[in-house]
Amino acid sequence: MLVLGSFPGVRSLAEQRYYAHPRNQFWQLMTPVAGIDLVPLAYRDRLAALVGCGIGLWDVVQSANRVGSLDTALRDVAARDLDALSARLPLLRVMAFNGAAAYRIGQRQMRGDAAVTLVRLPSSSPAHTMPIADKLAQWRELRSWL
């Protein structure tokens, strides 16, 4: 499984780690997917736990200009070639997109690879105000892919 965000926010870029903003709910949402409480772990241990479950993290945007962290502010977007990536990962079964922007950009990069299922998830961003319980209900469904 590959979980794809759009592009790291200001805090994540500064700290050089995914989902570094303390209000981002990503690690809470991935906990039931991985079956391991990721929240109290050090960042390296979080990544190791995900890899141990067969989960990778990446972004659909290779480069962009943006002021702030909102996806709506992304400009001059250069998307990653996810189709080529999936061709190099024969065991990849699902790409899960963290939010609408990641899904919109990412699904355009896939040219019909029937072997990889694309899943759109509600964003883990604090800017996406859906209650976490509602987000969790959808994120938990990823567990069936492991």
**Looking at the predicted structure, is the pLDDT value of residue 121 above 70?**
yes
75 token code pair = 């400009």
Contact 86, 110 (CB under 8 A): yes
* Residues 47-76, mean pLDDT to the nearest whole number: 90
Q: What is the pLDDT of residue 77?
A: 87
Q: Enter the pTM of the model.
A: 0.91
Residue with tokens 């709910």: 25
**pLDDT exceeds 90 at position 34:** yes
Q: What is the arithmetic mean of pLDDT over 135-142?
A: 97
Categorize the per-residue pLDDT at 126 as very low, low, confident or very high, splitting at 50, 70 and 90: confident
Residues near 6 by Cβ (< 8 Å), separated by ≥ 6? 59, 60, 61, 71, 74, 98, 99, 101, 102, 105
CA distance 85 to 46: 23
What is the Cα–Cα distance from 1 to 15, expressed in whole angstroms?
25
Q: How far apart are CA 78 and CA 64, in angstroms?
A: 6
pLDDT-derived band at 114 (thresholds 50, 70, 90) equals low
Asked whether residue 58 carries a pLDDT value surpassing 80, the answer given is yes
The yes-or-no verdict on residue 113 having pLDDT over 90 is no
> For the domain with range 2-145, which CATH number is right: 3.40.50.2020, 3.20.20.70, 3.40.470.10, 3.30.70.1050?
3.40.470.10
What is the residue extent of each domain of the chain?
2-145
Percent of the chain with pLDDT over 90: 73
CA 143/CA 30 separation, integer angstroms: 9
Report pLDDT for 110: 86
DSSP label of 132: H
